[in-house]
């Protein structure tokens, strides 16, 4: 097995060195749900008349993703299919002008949509897309006045209390609802027959409490109603324009940019306005190649992938002075943020973080920042200029720690739980930005393994104490940004171990026992995307490379010598990495964007996590 481990590590290093781009970054596909492919077809048919080649490629992609039952799924083991994804694909294929509405494949999809209750049962984002194309009534969406945007930060509930992700999407969407905008174009297919009669919306007591507080605040605003209304519209427009990146996209998200374009059309901007033309080009540049055709990424992952790969190569023994590492370090240094973004309103720390995508310059996050800092650590030790960047980054990470001791994704202390009742699907996960075990564990792992801090440090101690409180009864931790309990448990274990928590600690021992209990008979680990919906571990019928690597690294971290579970897992990981028939396991999404709605197959993960884990095994056990 030793020789197999060594040869696998060598081959992975060679593969990654070969795939590096000239400027030092790695470009792997961030493959997400079909929403972006469908919405791009819709957008191209709305804005442009000469995009048949790209539309045709995306049509082929959608057909390639359709299940035998005629549906589209969020993940392989999703039962039957996903209603929102199927509606989006169905509408896009009809809108493309390249598919006969009597096509048997389309009719299968239509029957599924009817069976599942039609448009009213779809996700809020899907309903908004349908509404701007005249297929769904605006009166059933978002009963929040646009004046909500004007509530001052001193008011108990205001726009700025929402997470940055939620604000980014709410600004264009609330503007569209306010305008009740419907795009006018003759090519829009009419599919209102799939929108069943909708009863008046019933809201929960928590939702009514939220509405009441917002209404109370709006009534207290000074100014004539007409003036306030216009001010709110102007605020929404300026909010979007101020957060456009140099590539024309809005916050580097496809989904947010899509709605921004329609919001600008609603305000009277022409389709050929330079802002809209540039935004569309920015979205087209988000395309990547997959085995099933061209795919539009929601947020290309160049910075994330480059940071993780550079770190993985160094863990595997590639020296920081080698060209492949120096080039990646140079690239990452250029991507460090120097602008003050929205995050700065909650903390006095100076800019110094990193974002997820190459074009991202104002929307940094904790996970990308600690990933970049890991990659820079060895180079910073011998270079004062790199050390300055590294110091700025670590200051930013500490400046983002929440009051409870954990770490959020984008902004600190966005934790008002009443906002999870915001009347949009997914608000429970996206409306606020609380501490999560995975982000906290990853931050601690960096602070321990690279910054040399221990649980004696007061801020580190707070993080460890918070993590221990968050452990589930059976021994796992929830992972918000990866699938799911394996991911969260790996982050928590490696984080606590890095800052000096003993392997004999009861929390780590419970976690170890839990990981061993869910090991599959083939030696690997596999967890379904259903876990984040069920809020409990749901097993996959197969193992995946990244989840197997996460579980193994956790056990390697705790144990002093190889155990049967570790050795069996290593053999499984080698097979998952080297085997010829692993497409299903390698393609299964193990990243999460929005729980229950948005899952990610990171094409880079089949290299990154196995390489790190095999290297850790080799280093510790020989």
pLDDT for the residue 109: 97
Evaluate whether residue 13 is within a structural domain: no
**Contact 442/475 with Cβ under 8 angstroms?**
no
Q: Which of 365, 389, 393, 364 is nearest to 379 (CA)?
A: 389
pLDDT for the residue 198: 60
Q: Which of 520, 576, 516, 498 is nearest to 544 (CA)?
A: 576
To the nearest 10°, report the CA torsion of 224, 229, 231, 236: 160
pLDDT band at 201 (very low <50, low <70, confident <90, very high): low
Evaluate whether residue 487 is within a structural domain: no
**Contact 588/525 with Cβ under 8 angstroms?**
no
Phi, psi of 436 (to 5 degrees): -130, 150
Residues 95-122: pLDDT tens digits?
999 999 999 999 999 999 999 999 999 9
pLDDT band at 193 (very low <50, low <70, confident <90, very high): confident
**Contact 391/369 with Cβ under 8 angstroms?**
no
Q: How far apart are the first and last CA of the chain?
A: 11
CATH, residue 242: 1.50.10.20
Classify 495 as helix, strand or coil. Answer: helix
HSE-up of residue 341 (Cα within 13 Å, Cβ side)? 28
**Contact 254/298 with Cβ under 8 angstroms?**
yes
Classify 595 as helix, strand or coil. Answer: coil
Helices 564-578 & 605-621 angle (0-180, nearest 10)? 140
Element (H, E) at 375: helix 366-381
pLDDT above 90 (res 457): yes
pLDDT for the residue 194: 81
Total domains present in the chain: 1
Element (H, E) at 31: strand 30-31
Please classify residue 40 by burial: count the beta carbons closer than 10 Å to its beta carbon, then call 0-12 exposed, 13-18 middle and 19+ buried: buried
Which pTM was predicted? 0.96
What are the catalytic residues? 367
pLDDT above 70 (res 526): yes
Evaluate whether residue 249 is within a structural domain: yes
Residue 229: give the domain boundaries: 33-194+204-296
Evaluate whether residue 259 is within a structural domain: yes
Mean pLDDT of the 509-528 span? 98
Give the whole-angstrom CA distance, residue 430 versus residue 127: 18
- What integer best gives the mean pLDDT of the chain? 95
pLDDT for the residue 223: 82
pLDDT for the residue 377: 98
- In our burial notation (b when 16+ CB lie closer than 10 A, e otherwise), range 391-424 reads ebbbebbbbbbbebbbbbbbbbbbbeebbbbbbb
pLDDT for the residue 39: 99
Evaluate whether residue 388 is within a structural domain: no
Evaluate whether residue 235 is within a structural domain: yes
Helices 83-96 & 52-65 angle (0-180, nearest 10)? 150
Give the whole-angstrom CA distance, residue 539 versus residue 548: 12
Evaluate whether residue 593 is within a structural domain: no
Mean pLDDT of the 389-400 span? 98
Element (H, E) at 591: strand 591-594
pLDDT above 80 (res 205): no
**Contact 608/308 with Cβ under 8 angstroms?**
yes
Q: Which of 55, 45, 52 is nearest to 186 (CA)?
A: 45
Q: Which of 507, 515, 522, 616 is nearest to 569 (CA)?
A: 522
Give the whole-angstrom CA distance, residue 360 versus residue 336: 10
Evaluate whether residue 322 is within a structural domain: no
HSE-up of residue 221 (Cα within 13 Å, Cβ side)? 25
To the nearest 10°, report the CA torsion of 154, 159, 161, 164: -140
Give the whole-angstrom CA distance, residue 333 versus residue 271: 37
Q: Strands 287-290 and 598-602, how do they pair?
A: unpaired
pLDDT for the residue 199: 60
pLDDT for the residue 197: 57
């Amino acid at each position: 097995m030793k020789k197999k481990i060594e040869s696998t590590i060598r081959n992975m290093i060679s593969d990654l060195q070969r795939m590096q781009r000239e400027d030092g970054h790695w470009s792997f596909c961030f493959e997400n749900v079909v929403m972006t492919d469908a919405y791009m077809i819709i957008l191209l048919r709305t804005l442009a008349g000469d995009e048949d080649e790209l539309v045709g490629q995306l049509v082929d992609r959608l057909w390639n993703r359709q299940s035998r039952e005629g549906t589209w799924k969020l993940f392989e083991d999703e039962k039957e299919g996903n209603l929102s994804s199927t509606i989006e694909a169905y509408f896009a294929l009809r809108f493309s002008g390249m598919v006969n509405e009597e096509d048997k494949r389309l009719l299968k999809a239509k029957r599924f949509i009817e069976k599942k209750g039609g448009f009213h049962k779809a996700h809020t984002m899907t309903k908004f897309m349908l509404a701007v194309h005249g297929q769904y009534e605006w009166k059933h969406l978002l009963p929040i006045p646009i004046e909500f945007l004007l509530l001052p930060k001193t008011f108990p509930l205001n726009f700025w209390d929402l997470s940055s992700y939620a604000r980014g999407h709410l600004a264009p969407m609330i503007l569209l609802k306010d305008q009740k905008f419907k795009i006018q174009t003759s090519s829009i297919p009419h599919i209102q027959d799939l929108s069943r009669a909708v009863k008046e919306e019933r809201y929960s007591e928590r939702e009514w409490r939220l509405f009441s507080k917002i209404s109370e605040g709006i009534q207290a605003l000074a100014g004539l109603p007409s003036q306030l209304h216009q001010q709110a519209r102007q605020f929404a427009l300026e909010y979007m324009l101020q957060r456009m990146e140099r590539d024309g996209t809005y916050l580097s998200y496809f989904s947010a940019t899509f709605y921004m374009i329609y919001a600008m059309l609603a305000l009277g901007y022409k389709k050929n306005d330079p802002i809209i033309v540039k935004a569309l080009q920015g979205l087209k540049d988000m395309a990547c190649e997959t085995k099933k055709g061209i795919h539009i990424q929601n947020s290309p992952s160049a910075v994330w992938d480059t940071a993780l790969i550079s770190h993985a190569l160094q863990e595997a023994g590639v020296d920081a002075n080698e060209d492949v590492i120096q080039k990646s370090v140079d690239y990452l240094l250029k991507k460090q943020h120097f602008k003050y973004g929205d995050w700065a309103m909650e903390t006095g720390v100076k800019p110094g973080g990193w974002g997820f995508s190459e074009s991202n310059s104002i929307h940094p996050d904790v996970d990308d920042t600690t990933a970049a800092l890991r990659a820079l650590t060895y180079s910073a030790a011998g270079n004062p200029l790199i050390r300055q960047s590294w110091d700025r980054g670590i200051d930013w990470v500490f400046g983002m720690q929440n009051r409870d001791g954990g770490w959020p994704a984008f902004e600190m202390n966005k934790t008002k739980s009443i906002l999870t009742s915001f009347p949009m699907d997914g608000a429970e996960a996206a409306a606020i930005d609380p501490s999560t075990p995975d982000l906290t564990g990853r931050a601690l792992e960096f602070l321990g393994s690279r910054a040399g801090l221990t649980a004696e440090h007061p801020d580190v101690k707070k993080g460890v104490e918070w993590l221990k409180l968050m452990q589930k009864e059976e021994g796992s931790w929830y992972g918000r940004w990866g699938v799911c309990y394996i991911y969260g448990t790996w982050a928590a274990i490696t984080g606590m171990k890095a800052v000096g928590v003993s392997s004999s600690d009861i929390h780590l021992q419970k976690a170890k026992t839990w990981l061993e209990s869910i090991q599959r008979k083939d030696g690997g680990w596999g967890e379904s995307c259903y876990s984040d919906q069920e809020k409990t571990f749901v097993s996959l019928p197969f193992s995946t490379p990244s989840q197997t690597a996460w579980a193994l690294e956790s056990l390697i971290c705790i144990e002093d010598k190889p155990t049967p579970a570790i050795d069996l897992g290593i053999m499984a990981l080698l097979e998952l990495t080297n085997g010829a028939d692993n497409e299903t396991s390698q393609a299964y999404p193990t990243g999460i964007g929005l729980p229950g709605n948005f899952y990610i197959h990171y094409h880079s993960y089949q290299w990154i996590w196995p390489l790190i884990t095999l290297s850790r095994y080799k280093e510790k056990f020989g």
